[in-house]
Structure 1
Amino acid sequence: MEFMDSLDGQPSSDVLPVLWTTFEPFNVDCFSCGRSLEFLWGMDHTDGPDMLQQCIQYFNEGHSYAVIVDMMSTLHGVHISLRSLKTKLNEAGLYHRKDYSSTNAITRAIRLELRGPGQLFGYRTMWQVLKQKYNLRVRRDQVMNLLRELNHQGCERRARRRFIRRTYHSMGPNYMCHADGYDKLKPFGLALSGCIDGFSRKVLWLACGSTNNDPSVIAHYFLSCVRNLGVIPMRLRTDCGTENGTMAAIQCTLRHHHNDHYSGASSHMYGSSTNNQRIESWWSIFRKGRAQFWMELFADLKDAGYFNGSHEHQCLLRFCFGDVRLWNSHRIRPSRTASCPGGVPNELYYLPHRFGSRDCGFKIELAELNAFPEARLTRAPCGDTNMQEYLDLAMESNHLQKPEYWQSATELYLKLKEIAQL
C-alpha cells in the first residue's frame, strides 16, 4: 500500500490522521500485526486536560478502571482503552496499590474530620472522604485501624447499632416548665391545655375548655397555676403559637427583677413542638391512657345520633372529662436518656432534697399577680354563660348530681339532651 512505510511495515506518521477520518475507530487494525488501534484513538482524544481531570476525578471517587472506561464512553462520548487509561493515570502518579500517602498525613486528615460530623463516619465512609476531599491514597484496612485508635467510643457506639438520644438535663423542680395545647378532642368541643414540670414530670395544670387558642385563656391558666403554687418557674418553654404570647410576656415580666442568668426575657423559650419533649411525651401517654377512651366514647355517641357537633352538644360534653390526679401519684421509672431521677411526681416536686436537687422556682406575691387582668378572668365551664345557667337550672330542678364516672356522665348527657330537646 502507498501509505505503508517500506522499511518496517508500520503506518507512516503523516498518514495516521487519514486513518481517523477514514475508518471507524473500533474497526481499525494494524496492517502488520493485526493489533487493534482503538487505544491510539483513545489516547488521541484524551490528551486534553479536561478529559484527564475527569478520569482523575473518577479514580479518586474509588471507581475501578473498567468502570471509568465505561463511564467515559457512556457519559462523555470518549472511547478510551483500558491500557491507555492506566497509562494516563500512571503518568499522573495515580496507582491503586502503591505510592500510599504517609500515615501522618492520613492521621491529620482523620483528626480534622473527627472535629465535625466525621465523628459519625464508619471506616468505609471515612476512606471515601480521605480519597475525595483530601486526595489521599490510603488502604481501607489502615483507615479502619486508625479510626479504632482515634475514635474508640464512636466505633463502640456504631457496633451497638443503636440510636443515641440526647440527655435531658434539669436542675430541679420549677427549673423548666413545658406548656402546650392538645387538639385531638377538639372535634367534640373539648380543647385542652396543659403544663408539666420537666424535672418531676408533675402535671401543673390540665384544663379543659371551649378554646385553647385564646391568649387570655392560656394566660389565665398560667396565673392560676402560679397562684396555687406560690412560685414562678425559672424558665418556661412553649411552641411558637400565638396563644402563648401573653403567657410568655407575663413570665418575662414577673422575672425581670431577678438577678439570675435566665432573668427577664431569657426566662421564656420558644421552640418547635417536636423539641418540647416533656409535654409532647406526656400527651402520648395521655392519649393511650385517657384520651383514646373518650374519643371512642364520643364517636359512639356520634354514630348513634346523640351528638352532631353543634355548639350546644359540645357544651354538654365538656363536663364529662376526668381529672389527672392519678398521674401525679404514678411512679416513673428511671431513664437512661435523662439526668432526672425516677419516682413519684409529687415526691419529686415537693421533696427535691431527697433526690439531691433543689427547688429552682422564685417566690411570687399575690399583689404582683393581681396586676394582670387575666388573673380575674372568669369563664363558664361549658364555654357559654347562657348555656351554663340553663344547665345549672336544669340539674337543680330535676335533682341531678354531678357525674363521677364515665357511665354517670353519659347518662347525664343523655338526660340533659332530652330535657333541653337538643
Structure 2
Amino acid sequence: MNVTSDPHVASAIREYFDSGHTYEVILDMLKTNHEISISLRTLKTHLKEAGLYRRGNYSPLPEVRRAILNELRGPGQLFGYRTMWQVLKQKHKLHVKRSVVMVLLRQLNPQGIVSRTRRRFTRRTYHSMGPNYIWHVDGYDKLKPFGFALSGCIDGFSRRMMWLVCGASNNNPAVIAHNFINCVKSLGVIPMRLRTDLGTENGTMAAIQCTLRHAHADHYAGSLSHSYGSSTGNQRIESWWSFLRRGRSQFWMDLFGDLRDSGNFNGSHEHQCLLRFCFINVLQKDLDECKDLWNKHRIRPSRLASCPGGIPNELYLLPHRYGSRDCGFAVEERELDVFPEGRQAIELCGDSNIEEYLHHTVQQNRLEQPQDWESATELYLALKNVAGF
C-alpha cells in the first residue's frame, strides 16, 4: 500500500507544503513527527498528483486582488508585501508570485508603503543554545486603555511564539501561570530557563518553573532556571512586540480610538467589560492568526545574532538541521495537575456579574455573536444602547 494514499499522511504533506517548507524539510517533518519515511521522488509524485506546484498554475489575478482588498479592510492594511504574500498562501490558499503581491500592494495601499519606509535601530547580539533553552515572557499594555491586556512568550532560539493570549488582565499572577501551564501541558516540555521582567505577576509562574526544575542536575536547575531583568533587557519579546505594533495592534488601537473619539467609549469599567465581551473572541482569533503566520514565516539570517535564520516552526521542531538540539526537559501531565492555576476558568469580560447580564441581554434581544471586527462593533453599539452604559 502506498503510504501517501493515507488521508492523514496526505493532509500532513499538504499542510507542510502550504506552509512553505522545502521538500527536504517536508521529508524530515514526516520522519520526525509521523515516523514515515518516503523518498524525494515519491514525495514529488504525490505533490504532482495532488496538483501542488511551486511554480505555475497561479491563481487568477482578480481573485488575488479581491483577497488583498479584503485584508486591507482590517489589520492587513499594516502588512508588508512579504506578510501579505504569506497570508494569501496560507489563509486564502492562493498561489501567487511575491513580486505580483508587491506590485498590487503599491497600487492598492500606497500609504502603507510610505509608512513602512523607515529605518531600523541596531540591537545587541543575541545568543541561545537551541529551542527551549530560554523562553522570554512579557505583557503588552498598548491596548490596556481599552480593557485588553496581552500576554506573550517567545522561544529565544527559534523565535517561535509559544503563546499569545488577550484577556482582562496581564497583572494577575494566576492568569500568567495559567498561560504557562497550558503551553507546557500542550508541549510536554519545560524550558531550561525562563526570563521575565520584575513584575509581581510573574512570581507564580517563576515558582512553578523552579519547582518543576528542582530535581534536574544541570547548571540551571532549581532556582537558577528563572531569571528576572528589566523589560528593556528582555530583548526577544520586546522586539516581537514592535512587530505586533506595526503589523496588528495599531489597527485595533485605531478602531477602539475611533469609538472613544465618537463618544461611544469612555474608559469606565462598564465600557471596558462591554468592549471585551464583544471583541475578545474576534481579537483573540486575529492574534492566533498573527501567531500562526509568524511561526510559519522565514526569518532572514542576521549578523547581530548567533541564532540561525529560518522558519520558527522548523527551527523549533527540527533543531538538528541547524546543528543544535532541544534543550527542554520532559514533564508529565500529572506533575502539572498539582498546580490549581492550570485548572482555573478565565472570565470572558473580567466581571462575572456584567458578563452574565450581557449574555442574558444578547439572548433576550436575539443578537448574533460577532465573527469579525465589523459585526463586533455593531454588537457593541447595540448592547451599549440596550444596557444604557
Instruction: Tell me the TM-score range normalised by the shorter chain.
Output: 0.5 to 0.7
1:195, distance to aligned residue in structure 2 (A):
0.8
Aligned to 2:234: 276
Q: Deviations over 1:151-180 (max 9, x none)?
A: xxxxxxxxxxxx986421111111110001
Aligned to 2:165: 207
> Is 1:173–2:131 an aligned residue pair?
yes
Q: 2:358, 2:319 → 1: CA distance? A: 44
Aligned to 1:390: 357
Aligned to 2:174: 216
> Is 1:346–2:313 an aligned residue pair?
yes
Question: In the superposition, relative to structure 1, how do residues 391 and 345 fare at CA in structure 2: closer, same or farther (>3 Å)?
Answer: farther
Question: In the superposition, relative to structure 1, how do residues 326 and 397 fare at CA in structure 2: closer, same or farther (>3 Å)?
Answer: farther
- Secondary structure of residue in 2 paired with 1:340: coil
1:193, distance to aligned residue in structure 2 (A):
1.2
Aligned to 1:245: 203
Tell me which amino acid in the other structure corresponds to 2:261: D
Question: In the superposition, relative to structure 1, how do residues 395 and 346 fare at CA in structure 2: closer, same or farther (>3 Å)?
Answer: farther
The two structures have a TM-score, normalised by structure 2, of: 0.63
| 5+ long unaligned stretches in structure 1 | 1-162
Question: In the superposition, relative to structure 1, how do residues 315 and 227 fare at CA in structure 2: closer, same or farther (>3 Å)?
Answer: same
Contact 1:177 1:233 in 2 (8 A): yes
Q: Deviations over 1:259-318 (max 9, x none)?
A: 111111111011111111000001111111111111111111011111111112112222
Aligned to 1:287: 245
- Secondary structure of residue in 2 paired with 1:260: coil
Tell me which amino acid in the other structure corresponds to 2:304: T
Aligned to 2:150: 192
Which deviates further from its counterpart, 389-398 or 274-283? Answer: 389-398
Q: 1:397, 1:348 → 2: CA distance? A: 50
1:355, distance to aligned residue in structure 2 (A):
2.2
2:193 pairs, out of 232, 235, 243, with 235
Q: 2:229, 2:252 → 1: CA distance? A: 30
The two structures have a TM-score, normalised by structure 1, of: 0.59
Tell me which amino acid in the other structure corresponds to 1:353: H
> Is 1:314–2:272 an aligned residue pair?
yes
Question: Identity of paired residues, percent?
Answer: 70
Tell me which amino acid in the other structure corresponds to 2:214: H
1:244, distance to aligned residue in structure 2 (A):
0.9
1:241, distance to aligned residue in structure 2 (A):
1.1
- Secondary structure of residue in 1 paired with 2:303: coil
Q: Deviations over 1:133-161 (max 9, x none)?
A: xxxxxxxxxxxxxxxxxxxxxxxxxxxxx
Question: In the superposition, relative to structure 1, how do residues 314 and 260 fare at CA in structure 2: closer, same or farther (>3 Å)?
Answer: same
Q: 2:364, 2:307 → 1: CA distance? A: 52
Q: 1:397, 1:354 → 2: CA distance? A: 57
Query: How many residue pairs are counted as aligned between the two chains?
Result: 260
2:348 pairs, out of 354, 359, 381, with 381
Contact 1:178 1:278 in 2 (8 A): yes
Aligned to 1:332: 299
Aligned to 1:413: 380
Q: 1:332, 1:223 → 2: CA distance? A: 28
Q: 1:241, 1:210 → 2: CA distance? A: 17
Question: In the superposition, relative to structure 1, how do residues 352 and 399 fare at CA in structure 2: closer, same or farther (>3 Å)?
Answer: farther
Contact 1:253 1:264 in 2 (8 A): yes
1:233, distance to aligned residue in structure 2 (A):
0.6
Q: 1:342, 1:411 → 2: CA distance? A: 43
Aligned to 2:115: none
Contact 1:379 1:385 in 2 (8 A): no
Q: 2:329, 2:367 → 1: CA distance? A: 44
Question: In the superposition, relative to structure 1, how do residues 165 and 396 fare at CA in structure 2: closer, same or farther (>3 Å)?
Answer: closer
Question: In the superposition, relative to structure 1, how do residues 390 and 366 fare at CA in structure 2: closer, same or farther (>3 Å)?
Answer: same
